[in-house]
């Protein structure tokens, strides 16, 4: 089985490189044609502000915590936000699925996808709707919930919908992998398509992200000098033991011996975070992104935890929603809760969001006035 994470970082040629390069060429041609097929005149609109968080690569750059951050801000500012997600990995039987109506959870992770379900749990009062057709999802949110602030989760490639602000997330340490398109590399679009974005948000950029982060900043500023660039960090908030209904300050982790596991695009980020918080990671188990855990896998992790004599099992909050309900008898399973914050250019970032939101309100008022004449 191919380790795609390693393959997408690998720059030297291997036996399967020619085949991957050929497929990558075909994929790139299809992507370019699709983008050209949707000029602004063909794009559909929604009745309110539309902000997209997206990226250029496969794998986690922080779209989910970024979407949560913006949705919470919009609600606090008095707007009526709704999250519109593609629902990757969900096995729904509807084209448009309400994961949450803002009051109740209406779908499980298996049908909604783990990320939309996680957002629905963390965003009380804010509807989360899943559909490959974001326009229909947005119209439903407007009709049922009077939504006027639409946030597209993973929306950069959804070119059929007009948006007011395209925010592109770029991982500070792994920005573009080996620089090739799928399946040879991790790129979902050519790097020059970043010009469609309105601004860049560099993620995991603590202290500018080190040498790799500084190199990425330099590249983006040189290649796209007209685009604003902001820095963000994934900040650990607390350690949660959901089956005990308890949570602790992250200082709880200092000196603890743990067994950790994660099913992420880059699962090692959890291991790095735990080490940075002072934990001794005795063993770490990596699973593929969006991995659906089986009861036998969980039992094996428990046995390994007992064999090693570690203090607890730790995973991510995203992983927890995929195993919730299957592990109620094991109280020593915890997840690390994180949040995304804008750490560089924060004032300008929120000023940009507010400016776009105010412009959207003025547009709506103008349309109402014209309609009443």
**Domain of residue 100, CATH code:** 3.40.50.300
Q: Is residue 162 located within the same domain as residue 72?
A: yes
pLDDT digits (tens, 9 = 90+) for 282-297: 999 999 988 989 888 9
Q: Is residue 128 part of a domain?
A: yes
Q: Is residue 296 part of a domain?
A: yes
Q: Is residue 17 part of a domain?
A: no
Helices (H) and strands (E) in the chain, counts: 11, 13
The predicted model gives 167-192 an average pLDDT of 94
Q: Is residue 321 part of a domain?
A: yes
Q: Is residue 271 located within the same domain as residue 365?
A: no
Q: Is residue 117 located within the same domain as residue 156?
A: yes
Q: Is residue 268 located within the same domain as residue 129?
A: no
332 contacts: CB under 8 Å, gap ≥ 6: 241, 305, 311, 312, 313
Short-list 125, 172, 20, 149, CA closest to 74: 149
Instruction: Give the pLDDT confidence score for residue 174 in this predicted structure.
Output: 85
Q: Based on C-alpha coordinates, what's the Rg of the chain?
A: 21
Q: Is residue 112 located within the same domain as residue 214?
A: yes
List, as one string, the DSSP characters of 214-276.
Answer: HHHHHHHHHH-TTS-EEEEEEEEEEEEETTTTEEEEGGGGTT-EEEEEEESSSTHHHHHHHHH
Residue 320: domain span: 245-330
Q: Is residue 269 located within the same domain as residue 201?
A: no
Instruction: Give the pLDDT confidence score for residue 50 in this predicted structure.
Output: 98
Q: Is residue 136 located within the same domain as residue 256?
A: no
Percentage of the chain surpassing pLDDT 90?
A: 76
Let me know: does 334 contact 313? Beta carbons within 8 Å. Answer: yes
Q: Is residue 52 located within the same domain as residue 196?
A: yes
Q: Is residue 118 located within the same domain as residue 250?
A: no
pLDDT digits (tens, 9 = 90+) for 107-123: 999 899 999 999 999 99
Q: Is residue 228 part of a domain?
A: yes
The token pair at 218 is: 């330099």
Q: Is residue 281 part of a domain?
A: yes
Q: How many domains does the chain have?
A: 2
- Four-residue CA torsion sign, 89, 91, 94, 97: negative
The predicted model gives 74-78 an average pLDDT of 97
Short-list 134, 142, 170, CA closest to 51: 134
Q: Is residue 8 part of a domain?
A: no
Torsion-angle region of residue 146: left (phi > 0), alpha (psi -120 to 50) or beta? left
Q: Is residue 180 located within the same domain as residue 323?
A: no
Q: Is residue 106 part of a domain?
A: yes
Q: Is residue 63 located within the same domain as residue 156?
A: yes
pLDDT digits (tens, 9 = 90+) for 121-167: 999 999 999 999 999 999 999 999 999 999 999 999 999 999 999 99
Q: Are strands 199-203 and 81-85 parallel, antiparallel or unpaired?
A: unpaired
Q: Is residue 279 located within the same domain as residue 312?
A: yes
15, pLDDT greater than 90: no
């Amino acid at each position: 089985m191919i380790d795609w994470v390693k393959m997408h970082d690998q720059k030297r040629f291997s036996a399967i490189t020619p085949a991957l390069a050929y497929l990558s060429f075909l994929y790139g041609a299809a992507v370019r044609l699709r983008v050209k097929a949707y000029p602004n005149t063909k794009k559909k609109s929604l009745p309110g502000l539309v902000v997209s968080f997206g990226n250029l690569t496969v794998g986690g750059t922080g779209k989910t915590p970024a979407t949560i951050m913006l949705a919470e801000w919009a609600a606090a500012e008095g707007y009526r936000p709704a999250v519109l997600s593609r629902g990757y990995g969900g096995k729904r039987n509807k084209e448009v699925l309400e994961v949450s109506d803002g009051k109740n959870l209406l779908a499980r992770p298996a049908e909604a996808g783990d990320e939309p379900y996680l957002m629905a749990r963390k965003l009380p009062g804010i509807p989360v709707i899943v559909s490959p057709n974001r326009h229909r999802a947005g119209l439903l949110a407007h009709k049922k919930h009077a939504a006027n602030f639409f946030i597209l989760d993973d929306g950069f490639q959804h070119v059929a919908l007009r948006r007011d602000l395209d925010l592109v997330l770029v991982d500070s340490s792994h920005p573009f992998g080996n620089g090739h398109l799928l399946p040879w590399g991790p790129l979902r679009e050519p790097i020059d398509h970043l010009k469609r974005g309105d601004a860049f948000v560099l993620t995991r950029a603590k202290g500018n992200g080190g040498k790799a982060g500084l190199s990425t900043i330099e590249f983006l500023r040189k290649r796209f000098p007209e685009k604003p660039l902001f820095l963000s960090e994934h900040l650990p908030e607390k350690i949660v033991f959901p089956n005990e209904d308890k949570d602790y300050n992250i200082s709880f982790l200092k000196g603890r011996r743990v067994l950790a596991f994660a099913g992420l695009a880059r699962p090692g980020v959890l291991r790095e975070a735990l080490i940075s918080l002072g934990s001794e990671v005795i063993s770490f188990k990596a699973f593929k992104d969006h991995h659906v855990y089986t009861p036998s896998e969980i039992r094996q992790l428990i046995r390994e935890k007992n064999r090693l004599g570690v203090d607890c099992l730790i995973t991510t909050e995203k992983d927890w929603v995929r195993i919730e309900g299957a592990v109620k008898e094991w109280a020593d399973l915890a997840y690390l809760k994180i949040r995304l914050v804008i750490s560089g250019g924060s004032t300008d970032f929120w000023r940009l969001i507010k400016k776009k939101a105010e412009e959207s309100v003025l547009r709506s008022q103008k349309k109402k006035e014209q309609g009443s004449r």
